[in-house]
């Protein structure tokens, strides 16, 4: 549910400020890596099992149905 809420919030922000999509595209990999670090800190999992590069696209990450069905 939290993922869906975050996606809806991002979509609303992008609707109000479409130019932010360029910022997302430019920083997607870096932000995924930051998210990976936060996830590893919170989960206690070994870094070797979580890919360093995203295995999905920005478009997939923003798709309201991706990974939720």
Q: Residue 68 falls within a domain, yes or no?
A: no
Q: Residue 46 falls within a domain, yes or no?
A: yes
Nearest CA among 67, 46, 64 for reference residue 5:
64
Instruction: Report pTM.
Output: 0.76
Give the span between the Cα atoms of 57 and 14, in whole angstroms. 17
Give the span between the Cα atoms of 18 and 9, in whole angstroms. 13
32-61 confidence digits (pLDDT tens): 999 999 999 999 999 999 999 999 999 999
Helix (H) or strand (E) holding 19: none
Give the span between the Cα atoms of 47 and 37, in whole angstroms. 8
Q: Residue 8 falls within a domain, yes or no?
A: yes
Q: Residue 69 falls within a domain, yes or no?
A: no
Q: Residue 36 falls within a domain, yes or no?
A: yes
**Number of structural domains, the chain?**
1
12-25 confidence digits (pLDDT tens): 999 999 999 999 99
């Amino acid at each position: 549910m939290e993922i869906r809420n975050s996606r809806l919030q991002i979509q609303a922000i992008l609707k109000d400020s479409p130019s932010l999509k360029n910022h997302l595209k430019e920083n997607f990999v870096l932000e995924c890596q930051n998210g990976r670090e936060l996830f590893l800190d919170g989960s206690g999992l070994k870094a070797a099992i979580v890919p360093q590069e995203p295995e999905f696209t920005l478009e997939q990450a923003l798709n309201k149905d991706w990974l939720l069905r």
